[in-house]
Amino acid sequence: MNAAQTARSVAATAEAAATASREWARADRTVRAAALDAVAARLDAAADELVPTAMRETHLPEPRLRGELGRTTFQLRLFAEVLRDGSYLDARIDTADPEWPMGPRPDIRRTLVPLGPVAVFAASNFPFAFSVIGGDSASALAAGNAVVVKTHPGHPDLSAATAAVVVAALAGDGAPQDLFQLVSGIDEGRELLLAPQIRAGAFTGSIAGGRALFDLAQQRPDPIPFFGELGSVNPVFVTREAARRRAEEITAGFVGSFTLGAGQFCTKPGVLVHPRDSDLRELLAAHDLPAPAPLLNDRIQQGYVAGLGTLAGNDGVEPLRFDDGALADPPAPSLVATDLKYVLDNPAVLDEVFGPASLLVAYDDEDELLALAELLPGQLTATVVGEEDDRIAPALLERLADRAGRVLWNQWPTGVTVSHAQQHGGPYPATTAPGTTSVGTAAITRFLRPVAFQNLPQSLLPAELRDGGPAPALVNGTPSGGSR
Amino acid sequence: MNAAQTARSVAATAEAAATASREWARADRTVRAAALDAVAARLDAAADELVPTAMRETHLPEPRLRGELGRTTFQLRLFAEVLRDGSYLDARIDTADPEWPMGPRPDIRRTLVPLGPVAVFAASNFPFAFSVIGGDSASALAAGNAVVVKTHPGHPDLSAATAAVVVAALAGDGAPQDLFQLVSGIDEGRELLLAPQIRAGAFTGSIAGGRALFDLAQQRPDPIPFFGELGSVNPVFVTREAARRRAEEITAGFVGSFTLGAGQFCTKPGVLVHPRDSDLRELLAAHDLPAPAPLLNDRIQQGYVAGLGTLAGNDGVEPLRFDDGALADPPAPSLVATDLKYVLDNPAVLDEVFGPASLLVAYDDEDELLALAELLPGQLTATVVGEEDDRIAPALLERLADRAGRVLWNQWPTGVTVSHAQQHGGPYPATTAPGTTSVGTAAITRFLRPVAFQNLPQSLLPAELRDGGPAPALVNGTPSGGSR
């Protein structure tokens, strides 16, 4: 397509999404919940068609992909539960109060309404859970919005096959036509994000790609929210006492985590900060590493080789597990090493390298950990491997909570459960919207907007704002009603 | 100061704010609540000093300013209550669950933590409630952040006097030094928003000014959230039946609302959409209007004359109450008129004119109201004056809820109560962050960020995430504990 054709085609897609979004916003929450359940059921039933396609296009192994599809359908069903419960609406009812201290208060009632059509930019590394019908699409649909997915070029056939399943399930359940659409291509994605009908963007991917789209969304005549999950090195801090007591356990856990899925997780621990006077470095120098595994696609492979080459090329960074195989295709897992003082002077060594590599950082004095924690750019996760009575623990955890969306203790950051309390986010560059999460039930809030209704008759109020309505509500400041 | 001096001075302010913010974030919620109460008490006690200063600098009358100061201190005390209650933390506890359907779930607990130092850009039209210690400062402090206010040049003496009271109250209550600071000047404001220590911006003012600051915040190497409340015309839609039954009541209510405070409210009804075949236009042509009142300052006066001149100069807009006094200083309240078809073709007539003027828009067919509602840019408020059985009401309310943050029925939009259910926001250009509010208890959420803690021992968890902790929490998806 030439530029004009692309623009016309995307404009028609966006217009159809706006019409569908209006109708979907009107649908009862239980109707939307049933549709999400129907999509989950059809996806589960299509596993034997979808998984082989995913294997072919992503080089990921079958058990991982079947597990990921299960996570994806679980996520859809969990959002269906969220819809049926209704707490997510954060309904608030303040009845008229002539004695309100600042002056008579009118009857005012607040709920959340859908933002409108959402543009979802799919990721490559989770071809189910963060792609066509992953967390962004599921939460945007649950919130009551039409979705247009810009597919990832890494798995085009899987994207089309997945969308076909989703569209068939939605149609079978009576959802509006064009509620769920795809576009492909970089120009198409940009046009989509600029379409006046699109009211929010969501993205999982690289810092460069995410920043470019974020900038585009903010430079619109009417800027829109853009929820980008970009990059993170997920540092792990090992205290002196933990290294002394549990060096072998830590070694095994760390190797398992940084090489999981060939290191292609946004939560891969890319930095391990350890006491110089421990056995960790020696143990890691000798520990078995997994065999080389092909990366997702050529672009990821090239990016990995370039990034790891830059990191290893620093004069203060030395090889630990880094031979000819490290930069081969497929690459052997590798480890390079430096010390904390070098990192403080050369923070660029903290740049994310997406793939099976990690950087060991040796420290001499535990207090140096606090200096490094303060220097960190925003992170999805930060981990402390420590003992409960470690003197440094409270201060270190406090500083890491100021820099990361999830702070772990004696566990590894890879593996992000989908639950009520999950938080997958963090200050920039971890995300472009630090107040939000892209995983867990709270992710739905991204695609909603509060509206207060003042002095409306009961008959004209949204159902959840009527007296004794069907959802939990905060009534004059006190929780009441619904399932709460 | 020259540019280098300005930069150094602002950098020192931001660095001091970062230190104070870290300490304040650590303070117990009840300590922060007590400090807010202390600020409120000192402000109330200083009324006889502050109000005359405000009168001199803003031309606003004494009763209005005393009322506004009361609103401001009420707001501080309401946030103190919010802190003591603890529900605002949205604490969520998911205990470890080996049977979680997508795979074993770790113990994961989520709360909200302060973003860090906030830059607050004060407004001119509410010298107390949206200025130095207005809603933005109060909610940012309550959330646990240091605040640096960029003062509004319209009331410099009041800004300094207010800040002195706030700082003395905070110091008397043991809050960290430099928790609350001021800067003045356009360049200083820009430098402040670009300082790496600043983690969020908040603004109330014009579209042009707010957009420039929003762009600056988004173009940082690390973009930060910017909560701008910019502009709105707050349209009022009168149905045919309401106009037939209640024309005199509507006339009086509308005149009272659009001229309140000389029309210098962000919720002033700037457009009244009425049936052509009603008495409303004739009644408005004859109704008493308030005497001319001086506007806040010369810049507002100049902007008003320019904006009203442009509006009245449209060939499809005719004068209704518009004589020589309309563009004088002080200006007489004025009304101009057009019809709905003209507005659809010339949407620029919907641009906000800040001051005592409004635009009447006549319609022939009630269904035209839906077309106009869809054309609206984002609004803080939209109002329907109607009868409960009006055929158009449900569809019109639905469309207005898609375009506005607050939707009213048979009341007037001026007067924004501070309560749990209040929503003062809306899609761009009403605000730059449609998911948030700048008034009401939910405003605190803007300055917080979720963090999940995984597998932490009880002793290292934030208090509200411990088993049986001191705040309400969602435990494994079920509300429990605290005051809930």
DSSP string, A106-174: --EEEEEEE---EEEE--SS-TTTTSTTSHHHHHHHHHT--EEEE--TT-HHHHHHHHHHHHHHHHHTT
Q: Establish if B432 touches chain A: CB-CB under 8 angstroms.
A: yes
Bridge pairing between strands A404-409 and A448-454: unpaired
Average pLDDT over every residue of A322-345: 97
A201's enclosing H/E stretch is strand A200-204
Nearest CA in chain B to A212: B219
Give the Cα separation of B147 and B48 in Å (integer): 26
**Residue B480, pLDDT score:** 83
- Residue A142 pLDDT exceeds 60: yes
- CB contact set of A298 (below 8 Å; sequence gap of 6+): none
pLDDT at position A482 is 56
Q: Does the pLDDT of residue A2 top 90, yes or no?
A: no
**Would you give the DSSP letter of residue A292?**
P
Alpha-carbon dihedral sign for residues B308, B312, B316, B319: positive
As given in the structure block, the two tokens for residue A37 are 């359940």
d(CA A53, CA A184): 18
Mean pLDDT in residue range A454-467: 97
What three-state secondary structure class fits A100?
Answer: coil
Nearest CB partner across the interface for B418, out of A102, A116, A214: A102
Which burial class, exposed, middle or buried, applies to B298 when counting CB atoms under 10 A from its CB (0-12, 13-18, 19+)? exposed
Structure-block tokens of residue A36: 């999400």
Please report which helix (H) or strand (E) contains residue B475, including its range: strand B473-475
Mean pLDDT of A314-329: 96
**pLDDT beyond 80 at A1:** no
Cβ under 8 Å to B: A residues 36-95: 67, 70-71, 74-75, 85, 87, 90, 92-94
Q: What tens digit of pLDDT does each residue of A420-458 get?
A: 999 999 999 999 999 999 999 999 999 999 999 999 999
Give the DSSP letter string of A258-279: HHGGGG-STT---EEEEETTSS
Q: Which of A417, A418, A467 to mutate to test the interface with B (most CBs of B within 10 A)?
A: A417
- Separation CA B314–CA A26 (nearest Å): 38
Residue B1's pLDDT is: 75
**By the CB < 8 Å criterion, does B4 face chain A?**
no
Q: State the number of CA atoms in the 13 A half-sphere of B68 facing the CB.
A: 24
Contact check, Cβ <8 Å, A429/B457: no
* CB B465 within 8 Å of CB A451: no
Is the CB of A247 inside 8 Å of chain B's CB atoms?
A: no
In terms of Cα–Cα distance, which of B155, B160, B122, B154 is closest to B138? Answer: B122
User: Contacts of residue A215 in chain B, CB cutoff 8 Å?
Assistant: 218-219
Query: Residue A480's pLDDT is what?
Result: 83
For chain A, percent of residues with pLDDT exceeding 70: 99
Beta sheet of B379-385, edge-to-edge order: A478-480, A473-475, A91-94, A108-114, A448-454, B404-409, B379-385, B236-238, B271-275, B357-363, B334-339, B318-321
Residue to substitute from A112, A449, A466, interface B, most B β-carbons within 10 A:
A449
Q: How many CB atoms lie within 10 A of CB A11?
A: 16
**Per the CB < 8 Å rule, is A417 touching B459?**
no
Pull the structure tokens for residue B212: 């420039």
Of B71, B419, B477, the CB nearest to A94: B419
Q: What is the mean pLDDT of each run of 10 residues along chain B (484 residues)?
A: 90 98 97 98 98 97 97 98 96 97 96 98 97 98 98 97 98 94 97 98 97 98 98 97 98 98 97 97 97 96 97 97 96 98 97 97 98 96 98 98 98 96 98 98 98 98 94 92 50
Angstroms from B188 CA to nearest CA on chain A: 24
Chain A residues in contact with B445 (beta carbon < 8 A): 435
Q: Which residues contact B303 (CB under 8 A, 6 or more apart)?
A: B206, B354, B355
A97: left (phi over 0), alpha (psi -120 to 50) or beta: beta
For residues A44 and B416, what is the distance between their CA atoms, to the nearest angstrom?
Answer: 50
Choose among A432, A434, A441, A421: nearest CA to A142: A441
CA pair distance A106, A94, nearest whole angstrom: 8
Instruction: Find all residues with CB under 8 Å of A181, minimum gap 6, and list them.
Output: A13, A16, A17, A146, A147, A148, A149
pLDDT at B483: 44
Whether residue A452 and residue B423 make contact (CB cut-off 8 A), yes or no, is yes
Q: Which two tokens stand for residue B286?
A: 């004859």
Q: Which residues, listed in sequence order, are joined to residue A384 by a DSSP beta bridge?
A: A237, A409
pLDDT at residue A484 is higher than 50: no
State the nearest Cα–Cα gap between A408 and chain B, in angstroms.
5
Distance separating alpha carbons of residues B376 and A388, to the nearest angstrom: 57
Reduce the DSSP state of residue B369 to 3 states and report it.
helix
Q: What is the pLDDT of residues A362-391, one digit of tens each?
A: 999 999 999 999 999 999 999 999 999 999
Query: Quick one: how many helices (H) and strands (E) in chain B?
Result: 14, 17
Paired residues of B384 in beta bridges: B237, B409
**Torsion angle of alpha carbons A127, A128, A134, A137, nearest 10°?**
80
Known active-site residue A464: no
Phi, psi of B89 (to 5 degrees): -70, -15
Walk me through the domains of chain A, giving residue ranges and CATH numbers. Answer: 3-230+433-480 (3.40.605.10), 236-409 (3.40.309.10)
- Write the ipTM: 0.97
Q: Which residues contact B409 (CB under 8 A, 6 or more apart)?
A: A453, A454, A455, A456, A457, A460, B383, B384, B385, B386, B397
Residues 6+ apart with CB under 8 A from A99: none
